[in-house]
Amino acid sequence: METSLVGKYAIVGIGETEYSRASGRTTRAMGAMAIRRAMDDAGLDSTQVDGMLSYHSGDSTPSTSIMYDLGLRPNFYMDCSGGGSSSEALIGLAMGAIEAGMCDTVAIFRSMNGYSNFRIGGTGARAASGISGIDLMKRPYGLISAVQQFAFNFTKHMATYGVKSEDLAHIKVAHSNHASNNPKAMMKQRVSVQDVMDSRWIIRPVAHLLDCCLETDNATCVIVTSAERAKNMKQTPAHIIGVQGRGTKPGGDFHFQHGNMGRVAGHYVGPRIFDMAGVKHEDVDVTGCYDAFTYTVLLQLEDYGWCEKGEGKDYVKSGAINLGGKRPNNTSGGHLCEAYTHGMNMVIENVRQLRGTVDDYCPDAANGVHTYDYSEGGCRQVKDAEISMNMGWGTPAVGSALIMRK
């Protein structure tokens, strides 16, 4: 797939609020703060950001409110509905908007009180909203939370390839090790395989409590502009060399009727994005894989081609995804341990990895000086990180991806 956009755009600013379970603030206030922090990170003022994109699940604040709070006057904005595959997809749309001449610099934000107000599992504000839209296909049948909805795919996979719950626990262990070196992570304590196995069942046989992501109040932002403009900005840009937004399996919401249940959208998204970026798997130094649950990671690692189908259990147990391993994954702790952000924190983390300024416990981390000692309370910077990849997950049938280079 030939495209003239490879390396033409970059992420130049990143911002986030603290991650908590009791923000005490509106999504409007948090969204404005995250965007302001991203602007400050990039060295931009209110006259230099003229595009805004956001996504929500009926739980956020529109761009039109936040642009007023920040004194912005966009030439283009759009708020869309979506979840885990949106971060990478909107980065691609931002590139398209700039390429079309609609704007020059785009702030993409996600703001959510995902614990104290609108909880993804169907409790909180969502419980009183009634049943409509896509929920009509799920909630009347008891499929209220994502862990229930996605479990069918992995149950089939377990039966086919002999995956055990103990195998999945190695993913949680790796991400918890990474989070222990992240001052802002919500869950900093390292856990063992036995800790995961001893936590209560949520859905048998695919998920214990510690196999599930956190629920979090937060706002996050990334700023996209052209590589040419990025030269004059404050931070080292993370150049975008491949992006694929919301690729699907055949059948969409009815994908169970089409082919292998244990296959996810990464099977279709992966070849396109590697072809677009002009890199191979072995060129990638660090990954960010959507970890709503430990099993979503294993499925994506296989279907994006990091290992053969059915070999994911061996791949995660090999140490490859750990800091110091072949290709560390979710070095901030991801959704399992840092915070649940619908994918944004993994993009932010990989931007920091490429800059060489991961915010760990190294005394001079902000200036790119790291010890590469990955023991608890230490470093989480990947040494000489040049290329990163993010893999987003909306459902088993919907996925997005992003490849960046230094």
Domain encompassing residue 62:
9-118+215-230
Q: What is the CATH number of the domain that holds 83?
A: 3.40.47.10
Query: Does residue 44 fall inside a structural domain?
Result: yes
Query: Does residue 254 fall inside a structural domain?
Result: no
Query: Does residue 382 fall inside a structural domain?
Result: no
Query: Does residue 125 fall inside a structural domain?
Result: no
Angstrom distance (rounded) from CA 180 to CA 189:
6
User: Is the distance from CB of 331 to CB of 355 less than 8 angstroms?
Assistant: no
List active site positions: 290, 340
Query: Does residue 130 fall inside a structural domain?
Result: no
Query: Does residue 67 fall inside a structural domain?
Result: yes
Instruction: Give me the tens of pLDDT residue by residue for the chain, a chain 406 residues long.
Output: 455 789 999 999 999 999 999 999 999 999 999 999 999 999 999 999 999 999 998 889 999 999 999 999 999 999 998 888 999 999 999 999 999 999 999 999 999 998 887 767 655 555 555 666 666 766 776 777 788 888 888 998 999 999 999 999 999 999 999 999 999 999 999 999 999 999 999 999 999 999 999 999 999 999 999 999 999 999 999 999 999 989 888 877 777 777 778 889 999 999 999 999 999 999 999 999 999 999 999 999 999 999 999 999 999 999 999 999 999 999 999 999 999 999 999 999 999 999 999 999 999 999 999 999 999 999 999 999 999 999 999 989 899 999 999 9
> What DSSP string describes 141-174?
GT--SHHHHHHHHHHHHHHHHT--HHHHHHHHHH
Tell me the β-bridge partners of 201: 208
Angstrom distance (rounded) from CA 82 to CA 99:
23
Q: What is the CA radius of gyration of the chain?
A: 20
Query: Does residue 158 fall inside a structural domain?
Result: no
Total-model pTM: 0.94
Which residue carries 């952000």 as its tokens? 341
- What is the number of domains present in the chain? 1
Query: Does residue 62 fall inside a structural domain?
Result: yes
